[in-house]
Structure 1
């Protein structure tokens, strides 16, 4: 079974700032070791969760310590009220077909 390496970050945003936050959120350049990325936001747009899949924990840690990621976080900071994150290892669950 394939193992996944996942970085999950949830941020509470300033009211009415989702659109501006999303512009600042996109990495430039995108990390080569990033496999997939998803964003999920609350109905009111004041909380957003990013889920990114990486080649390895080391690849994610290297990106997190990089200058482009430091710049990206600085660009997001004016819109963020609170942030929490974690790194996880896991696998896809098999869902039985009915």
Structure 2
């Protein structure tokens, strides 16, 4: 099975700011080494979860310390109340056919 490298960020945002937050959330350039990314948000629009898949931990770490990422985080800051982040390694689980 293929091993995946995943960065997950959960942010609580200020009420009524989801649309503005999403505009600031998108990076100005695609991160090198990022394979794919997903965004999920709560029904009330107060929590956003970002899940990104990477070639390696090193490629993710390089993005995390980049100037582009620093600028993106600065742009998001006015909308963020709380933020949690973590890096994971894992693999896809087989789901039995019905």
Question: Which TM-score band (shorter chain)?
Answer: over 0.9
Q: Check whether the contact 2:32–2:59 (CA below 8 A) recurs between aligned residues.
A: no
Measure how far apart 1:88 and its partner are.
Answer: 0.1
- Three-state SS of the structure 1 residue aligned to 2:23 is helix
Residue 82 (structure 2) aligns with: 82
* TM-score (norm: length of structure 2): 0.99
In the comparison of the two structures, how many residue pairs are matched? 98
Matches within 5 A, 1:1-98: 1-98=1-98
Q: Secondary structure at the match of 1:74?
A: helix
After superposing on structure 2, the runs of 4+ consecutive aligned residues of structure 1 that deviate more than 6 Å are none
RMSD: 0.5
TM-score by length of 1: 0.99
| Structure 2: 5+ residue stretches without partners | none
Work out the CA distance in 2 between the residues paired with 1:75 and 1:5: 26
Deviations 1:16-68 (A, max 9, x none): 00000000000111112110000000000000000000000000000000000
